[in-house]
Amino acid sequence: MKKLMLTRRRFLTAAAAGLAGTALAGCDAFDGMMAPGSPVRNFLAGANDLTLGVQRALIGREALAREFSESEIRQGMRPNGATNPNSMDYMFLRQGNFGLYTLEVGGLCEAPQSWSLEELHNMPSRTQITRHDCVEGWSCIAKWTGVPLAHILGEVKPRASARFVVFHCFDVHAGGAGGVPYYESIDMIDAYHPQTILAYGMNGAPLPVENGAPLRVRIERQLGYKMAKYISRIELVEDLSPLWGGKGGYWEDLGYDWYAGI
């Protein structure tokens, strides 16, 4: 019996040691080397290029994100990030119910153009019920209606040198002198993808302000932070580094991966 007690004690001690080891392990030992800008962090972030390369190689260019049925829309779209931009130009446009809004598309293209919201409404449209996946971990199903970006690109005729589509936005966020405006970028593969639309409608109604009115982009094979809201201007560029933090997006400049397909 004594032997059994002893071995039981040994068992408990061993189990406790294992637990304590796990609990103590994390702490702040890795904070410095994981901070944005550190060489270790940059090395680890290289795995995202591998993810992009492998996903692009394995997933067809035209492969569509899952579309859902009307009955699967069980709630409103959860608003996240900026929900009510307070820049002067946005508040002015909002007051007029976006009647004076124009979408300007320029940069590396043959025929830069501007369109009013009404003109965008009169273009070919696509409606899709998709699942929005936030980088935080939650998902929400909603119906989106808008102009395929491919149609817009067909109108402005991108030059061969155009490698990225950049979305400039009205919402200004904390950081830097006078704040940093939201912006995002995608490559031409995602730009021409059939489900990439400039949405002006949501769940059968005009796009609400909290979800990005008057215009937001849907990029259904990536996470929510890529799908810029409150778009003011679209620019075709060859290189992302001259823009703001140089990483191709507001969240990317803060350390998030440019490719958000995972």
Q: Give the residues lining the site for other proteins (CB under 8 A).
A: 3-4, 7-8, 10-11, 13-15, 17-19, 21-28, 30-31, 34-36, 41, 44-48, 50-51, 55, 58-60, 63-66, 68, 72, 74-76, 78, 131, 133-141, 220-223, 251, 254-257, 260-262
CA atoms of 210 and 83, how far apart (whole Å):
4
Complex with other proteins: residue 142 or 169, whichever CB lies closer? 142
- Per the CB < 8 A criterion, the answer to whether 244 and 253 are in contact is yes
Complex with other proteins: residue 103 or 191, whichever CB lies closer? 191
Angle at 202 between CA 198 and CA 203, to 5 degrees: 145
Q: Which candidate, 24, 42, 25, places its Cα nearest to that of 33?
A: 42
Complex with other proteins: residue 27 or 177, whichever CB lies closer? 27
Q: Rounded to the nearest whole angstrom, what is the least distance from the CB of residue 203 to other proteins in the complex?
A: 12
Q: Rounded to the nearest whole angstrom, what is the least distance from the CB of residue 173 to other proteins in the complex?
A: 15
Q: Rounded to the nearest whole angstrom, what is the least distance from the CB of residue 136 to other proteins in the complex?
A: 4
CA atoms of 168 and 237, how far apart (whole Å):
12
Count other C-beta atoms under 10 Å from residue 235's C-beta: 20
Q: Rounded to the nearest whole angstrom, what is the least distance from the CB of residue 202 to other proteins in the complex?
A: 15
Complex with other proteins: residue 41 or 121, whichever CB lies closer? 41
Residues 6 or more apart whose Cβ sits within 8 Å of residue 122: none
